């Protein structure tokens, strides 16, 4: 038994705590208790105390902390839920109920509290039903009768509390639906459960938004968002289906809804149902709301075209024709209907299309940008069997191309040229990129461009720019309206529609990550401020220089007026590499491969699980998992392989990736396709943290507009990899934030010659890396006071010392500041000897005997006292030496250096 206990203890890492362990835990609890009582309004301290209680296993202290926390922060729902969860884990169901009831009195409209309270009641009902099944006595069965009554009552009370709040109502109904379905798998036949299910169905039925006949509790369409409306309707039809209804009975009510998002959600739910899909799809596609909005109509058409269901093909043509007739100025709808004359009438007037209808079509060109080949080939497949022969589309495009050829004497375009700023244009990537832009590879063969190229004011760079400028003029690009090469930021960014930032300071062996980040902060600080001052308000910014995700985030901080969704990081290069590898492996064209995803940032997580190869999912290909791992490893090392082979970085493929990124952004992606872009992570998809520039799959509508594609399901391994990449990017963002604050404060010190406030000093000190020397910062602050005289310098010493004593939350930084300040005082003659001794004593009490800094402080103190020996109110060196021997831990180092000091030798 002892052997078994030892093996289990070793396997489970059991360890008996010592007295010092308990003492340390108790001391930390005391510090956190004092901190929370002194700073009651600081939620971070309360959560930190709760977290420490959980990690240390201090159950009793945890309960006291949670009770105090909810007392001081009754409006914080998470604290109430933590307290209730703690009681529930200990088996105190009644206590958990009471806590949640108190929480509802403080937060009567909190969906989070209501949902967790409902979850508690469902769990209790399940436990009672289990006890009923296990019990043998009749009395117990009678007592457990109708266990779902509290759940139903709480559900009805919750609905009454969120009445009038559309978003909260939708969230509560969806949470209730999830709980109902999870309980139905076990207890659907129990007494009272059907009553709760009926109450849920009735509540969703009465609150369905978007209907002409409003009931008393119905939510009007002006109150609710598309997502919430679709959620409420989904709750209703799922409950109806669970009660035995069929889709043909439900879709007439859904079709009468004014929300196109509800129709889209219903179509997505109907498509997998083979039996009822035909009639239901026809009814939904004939609804007025399906064609009311052109963007939503295109998404519905995309869903129908991507489906292999035979019933979907019959409703495509009807919906397309209705949408095109309701929106006659919509170019993509006109092209899909095959109306040659309408396409020709719209092309010269794209700039006059209203914002609602102006969704440019994704046009690609097979043989180059010749005007006579316009519309010869469209890079999205025709929608399947649009009610007529598929050759109709190609005939339409060919007829339009022939008509344009007959009008070849007309000017290329009457629209305003697109102004593109290229930073770092003199490099290898710029040399490959500029001809592609000037030839119409991004904006089409009829759209003129103005190039504004920027680079460093260095002799070799200036020579390279002059050479590229001469070659561009010799290239005779018909679409190149104007070109300028400059080293002035204001000229390069003035009036830009698109900005491509090629340059950055890359990661290198032997250079610290923080040093790289600080250099990139300096670079993109300049770029961001130039963007803020000179570009157009809707300018689209593409950051190419790696690490592109962090550099794009830095750029966004210095250009606050630019919309965050207009700043992108390039990950298309990884997608193109993966697409090319797959096409090469199977002997196909790259046009046969689509929907490769790059998650996070460059060279981190390329994902081909969702790729489609000639219409067939990659997962259905034999050996797909092995190929996935092979492609991923190859793509992550592809850049290094190119550098090793060429002795230079990949410039041509990078330029092509920039072109593909901007082309999709400006013209739109193909129907049924998504591409990878690093975008601002405020979309809420895939549980990605906010305030990151994170690469996700997107669908581009054209004109710079896009939306994140949220329909991908990730495997467990992919989710773990995604979380790992997210954690790395969060660490990079935090480091960049520190560098930004540090950079701003140092610039302020330089600009004001050290005359900064204590708040600015706190910013710069807190932004320093742990262990970084604080002496240069203090020296910069105090140097300004030194010029004004000894009195001003002494006053500054006192101010900084008072400021340092307030840094109680970062004791290591406080010690560094006090020690650096003391060293600076030793270099001046403005501070009296007795005051310096007092400061040494204060610093020793702050450091503590067990600190690694204690030895150095004692040695400095001893060296100072040895130098002023004989002065009044100064301790004798030998007495100080004996005190140090009783205090310091590293006796060997201290004895060696102290002996040198006492002998009058210099130590280092």
Question: Residue 716 has which token pair?
Answer: 């467990």
Cα–Cα nearest to 864, from 813, 907, 814, 830: 907
Residue tagged 């009296």 (tokens): 832
Q: Per DSSP, what are the bridge partners of residue 664?
A: none
Active site residue 602: yes
How many CB atoms within 10 Å of residue 734? 10
Q: Which are the contacts of 790, defined by CB distance < 8 A and separation ≥ 6?
A: 830
Whether residue 494 contacts residue 452, with contact meaning beta carbons closer than 8 Å, is answered with yes
Cα–Cα nearest to 437, from 410, 475, 388, 398: 475
For residues 748 and 777, what is the distance between their CA atoms, to the nearest angstrom? 11
Residue tagged 């991507």 (tokens): 306
For residues 576 and 594, what is the distance between their CA atoms, to the nearest angstrom? 10
- DSSP letter at 382 equals P
Whether residue 853 contacts residue 819, with contact meaning beta carbons closer than 8 Å, is answered with yes
Parallel, antiparallel or unpaired: strands 616-617 and 612-613:
antiparallel
Q: Name the region of 600 (left: φ>0; alpha: ψ -120 to 50; beta: rest).
A: left
3-state secondary structure of 270: helix
Query: Which candidate in 29, 73, 428, 602 is catalytic?
Result: 602
Q: Using omega within 30 degrees of 0 as the cis cutoff, is the peptide bond preceding 41 cis?
A: no
Phi, psi angle pair for 422, to nearest 5°:
-120, 115
Q: Per DSSP, what are the bridge partners of residue 480?
A: 449
For residues 185 and 435, what is the distance between their CA atoms, to the nearest angstrom? 63
Starting at the edge strand found earlier in the chain, the sheet holding 616-617 runs 593-594, 612-613, 616-617
For residues 29 and 329, what is the distance between their CA atoms, to the nearest angstrom? 68
The count of residues in the chain is 908
Q: Per DSSP, what are the bridge partners of residue 678?
A: 569, 695
Give me the active site residues, please: 602
């Amino acid at each position: 038994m002892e052997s078994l206990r030892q093996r289990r203890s070793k396997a489970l890492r059991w360890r008996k705590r010592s007295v010092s362990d308990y003492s340390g835990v108790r001391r930390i609890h005391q510090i956190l208790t004092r901190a929370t009582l002194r700073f009651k309004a600081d939620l971070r301290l309360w959560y930190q105390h709760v977290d420490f209680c959980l990690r240390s296993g201090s159950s009793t202290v945890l309960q006291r902390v949670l009770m105090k926390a909810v007392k001081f922060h009754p409006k914080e729902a998470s604290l109430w839920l933590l307290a209730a969860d703690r009681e529930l884990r200990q088996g105190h169901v009644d206590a958990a109920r009471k806590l949640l009831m108190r929480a509802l009195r403080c937060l009567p409209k909190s969906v989070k509290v209501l949902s967790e309270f409902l979850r508690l009641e469902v769990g209790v009902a399940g436990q009672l039903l289990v006890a009923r099944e296990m019990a043998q006595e009749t009395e117990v069965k009678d007592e457990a009768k109708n266990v779902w009554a509290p759940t139903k009552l709480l559900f009805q009370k919750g609905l009454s509390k969120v009445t009038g709040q559309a978003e909260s109502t939708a969230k509560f109904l969806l949470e209730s639906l999830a709980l109902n379905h999870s309980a139905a798998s076990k207890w659907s036949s129990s007494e009272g459960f059907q009553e709760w299910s009926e109450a849920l169905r009735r509540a969703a039925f009465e609150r369905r938004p978007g209907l002409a006949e409003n009931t008393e509790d119905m939510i009007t369409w002006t109150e609710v968002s598309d997502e919430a409306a679709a959620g409420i309707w989904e709750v209703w039809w799922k409950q109806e289906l669970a009660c035995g209804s069929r889709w043909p009975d439900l879709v007439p009510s859904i079709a009468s809804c004014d929300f196109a998002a509800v129709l889209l959600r219903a179509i997505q739910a109907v498509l997998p149902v083979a039996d009822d899909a035909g009639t239901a799809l026809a009814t939904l596609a004939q609804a007025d709301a399906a064609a009311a909005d052109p963007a939503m109509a295109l998404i519905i058409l995309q869903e129908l075209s991507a489906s292999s269901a035979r019933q979907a093909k019959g409703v495509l043509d009807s919906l397309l024709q209705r949408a095109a007739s309701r929106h006659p100025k919509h170019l993509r709808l006109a092209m899909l209907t095959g109306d040659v004359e309408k396409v020709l009438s719209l092309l010269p007037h794209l700039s006059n299309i209203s914002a609602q209808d102006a969704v440019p079509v994704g046009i690609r060109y097979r043989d180059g940008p010749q005007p006579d080949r316009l519309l010869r080939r469209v890079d999205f497949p025709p929608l399947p069997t649009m009610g007529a022969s598929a050759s109709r589309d190609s005939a339409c495009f060919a007829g339009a191309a022939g008509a344009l050829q007959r009008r070849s004497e007309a000017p290329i375009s009457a629209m305003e040229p697109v102004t593109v700023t290229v930073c770092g244009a003199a490099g290898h990537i710029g040399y490959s990129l500029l001809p592609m832009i000037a030839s119409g590879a991004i904006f089409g063969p009829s759209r003129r461009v103005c190039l504004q190229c920027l680079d460093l004011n260095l002799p070799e760079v200036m020579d390279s720019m002059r050479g590229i400028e001469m070659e561009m003029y010799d290239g005779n690009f018909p679409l190149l309206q104007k070109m300028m090469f400059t080293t002035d930021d204001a000229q390069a960014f003035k009036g830009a529609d698109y900005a491509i930032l090629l340059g950055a300071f890359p990661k290198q062996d032997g250079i610290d990550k923080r040093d790289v980040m600080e250099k990139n902060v300096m670079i993109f600080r300049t770029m961001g401020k130039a963007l803020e001052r000179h570009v157009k308000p809707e300018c689209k910014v593409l950051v190419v220089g790696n690490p592109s995700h962090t550099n794009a985030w830095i750029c966004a901080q210095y250009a606050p007026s630019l919309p965050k969704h207009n700043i992108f990081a390039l990950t298309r290069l990884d997608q193109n590499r993966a697409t090319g590898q797959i096409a090469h492996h199977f002997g196909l064209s790259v046009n046969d491969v689509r929907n490769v995803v790059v998650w996070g940032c460059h060279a981190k997580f390329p994902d081909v699980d969702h790729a489609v190869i000639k219409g067939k999912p990659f997962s259905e290909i034999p050996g797909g998992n092995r190929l996935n791992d092979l492609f991923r490893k190859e793509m992550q090392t592809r850049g290094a392989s190119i550098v090793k082979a060429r002795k230079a970085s990949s410039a041509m493929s990078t330029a092509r990736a920039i072109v593909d990124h901007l082309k999709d952004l400006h013209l739109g992606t193909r129907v049924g396709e998504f591409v990878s872009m690093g975008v601002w992570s405020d979309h809420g998809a895939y549980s990605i943290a906010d305030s990151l520039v994170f690469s996700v799959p997107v669908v581009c509508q054209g004109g710079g507009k896009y939306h994140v594609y949220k329909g991908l399901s990730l495997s467990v391994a992919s989710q773990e990899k995604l979380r790992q990449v997210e954690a790395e990017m969060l660490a990079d963002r935090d480091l960049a934030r520190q560098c930004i604050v540090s950079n701003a404060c140092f610039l302020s010190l330089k600009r004001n010659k050290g005359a900064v406030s204590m708040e600015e000093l706190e910013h710069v000190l807190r932004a320093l890396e742990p262990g970084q020397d604080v002496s240069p910062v203090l020296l910069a602050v105090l140097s300004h006071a030194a010029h004004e005289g000894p009195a001003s310098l002494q006053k500054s010493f006192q101010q900084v010392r008072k400021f340092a004593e307030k840094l109680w939350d970062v004791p290591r930084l406080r010690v560094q500041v006090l020690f650096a300040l003391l060293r600076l005082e030793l270099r001046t003659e403005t501070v009296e000897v007795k005051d310096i001794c007092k400061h040494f004593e204060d610093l020793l009490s702050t450091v503590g005997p067990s600190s690694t800094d204690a030895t150095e402080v004692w040695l400095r103190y001893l060296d100072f006292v040895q130098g002023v020996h004989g002065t009044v109110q100064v301790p004798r060196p030998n007495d100080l030496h004996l005190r140090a021997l009783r205090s310091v831990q590293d006796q060997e180092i201290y004895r060696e250096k102290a002996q040198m000091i006492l002998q009058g030798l210099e130590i280092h």
